[in-house]
Amino acid sequence: MVLTLYFHPFSQPSRSVWMFCKAARIPIVEKIVNVRTGEHKKPWFALMSPMTQVPTIKDNNFVLSESVAIVRYLVRKYEVMDHWYPEDLEQRAKIDEFLAWHHVNLRQKIIKVFKEEVINPFVHGKKPDQSQLQEHLEDLNKTLTFLQKHILGDKEYLFGDDITVGDLFAVSEIIQTNTSGRDVLKDFPKLRQWLDLVRATMTPVFEEVHGDLFKFRDEIIAKQKEERREEKVKQLREIRRRESTEPEGEVITLELDDNLNIKPEQNGGSIKEETTNDDSKEENDTEATVQVGGN
């Protein structure tokens, strides 16, 4: 009997199911479906799963989509620890309530922010609509306020003293916004403490499941820094072109600080731009020049 999980690590629901299977020690065969290239729309996958969504499981000849339905099926079929989805009627009902709420609130609000801040610029090459992004962030903050006050409250985990599938679904969504380097929990200390606790509880599974997403985040942040640098150099080039009395084609050296601001003292030599990596805290020197006129 073979249980196969079809998923993609960039998909929040996929990561929720994947984390649960690993943490609950449910034996699965892992099959990545590349949604970035549209593989989930290919005939072979659509024939098996007409919903053409990830995650999807295939248990012998039984096929099931929708992440919440998958987790409930797995809980009923396999002997997992009770804390994941308690047998207690009221505890399970509160988790079910959250999963229903989460799908049309937390998940939808985060999708809108992620699409505007990551998908549009880095997949479609479209600049984010800042007014639209701000509106999405305000809506997300309202949802996070509700989550912190009315669902988490003073508890360690969302539903008490132990981790549940509800925590996995919530953390998979929230961590998605970090892809752009944004910390949506900076004004929510209780949620920050909860997320750190879930991450620690799920180590090393959490890091394994989110590894590809974190690599993507690092690529995005690097691109953002390079774009800001290029824009700054472009601005400085234009300023120097207007102000300079140097001959056409003369190279002007500018000093930039670690915030890409021009330094007040120009002492010649290379431009030293000190950039700080948020993870390693290492400083790197790069050289750049501004040429007046010419091509």
Task: Report pLDDT digits (tens) over 133-171.
Answer: 999 999 999 999 999 999 999 999 999 999 999 999 999
User: Which amino acid would we find at residue 27?
Assistant: P
Q: Which H/E stretch holds residue 38?
A: none
Phi, psi of 263 (to 5 degrees): -75, 145
- pLDDT reported for residue 124: 84
The span from the CA of 29 to the CA of 197, in Å, is 28
> From the CB of residue 216, how many other CB atoms can be counted at a distance below 10 Å?
16
Say if CB 202 and CB 19 are below 8 A apart: yes
Give the pLDDT mean for 83-100.
97
Residue 28 is given by DSSP the state -
Strand partners, 30: 5
DSSP string, 220-278: HHHHHHHHHHHHHHHHHHHHHHHH--SPTT-EE---B-TTSPBPS----S-----EE-T
Say if CB 9 and CB 32 are below 8 A apart: yes
Strand partners, 6: 31, 56
The span from the CA of 87 to the CA of 83, in Å, is 9
User: pLDDT by residue (tens digit) across 197-248?
Assistant: 999 999 999 999 999 999 988 888 888 778 778 777 777 777 777 776 555 5
Strand partners, 275: 284
CA angle 44, 8, 100 (to 5 degrees): 105
User: pLDDT by residue (tens digit) across 65-90?
Assistant: 999 999 999 999 998 999 999 999 99
Please give the mean pLDDT across all residues of the chain: 85
- pLDDT reported for residue 83: 97
Higher pLDDT, 232 or 282: 232
Residue carrying structure tokens 């953002």: 224
Say if CB 18 and CB 70 are below 8 A apart: no
- pLDDT reported for residue 20: 98
Q: Is the pLDDT of residue 277 over 80?
A: no
> From the CB of residue 118, how many other CB atoms can be counted at a distance below 10 Å?
20
Tell me which residue of 218, 229, 235, 240 sits closest to 273, measured CA to CA. Answer: 229
User: Which amino acid would we find at residue 102?
Assistant: H
- pLDDT reported for residue 250: 55
Strand partners, 62: 59
Say if CB 35 and CB 56 are below 8 A apart: no
Lowest mean pLDDT among 11-25, 27-41, 267-281: 267-281
Higher pLDDT, 254 or 237: 237
CA angle 105, 184, 174 (to 5 degrees): 50
Q: Is the pLDDT of residue 111 over 50?
A: yes
Q: Is the pLDDT of residue 37 over 80?
A: yes
Q: Which H/E stretch holds residue 62?
A: strand 62-65
Give the pLDDT mean for 55-69.
96
Give the pLDDT mean for 185-208.
97
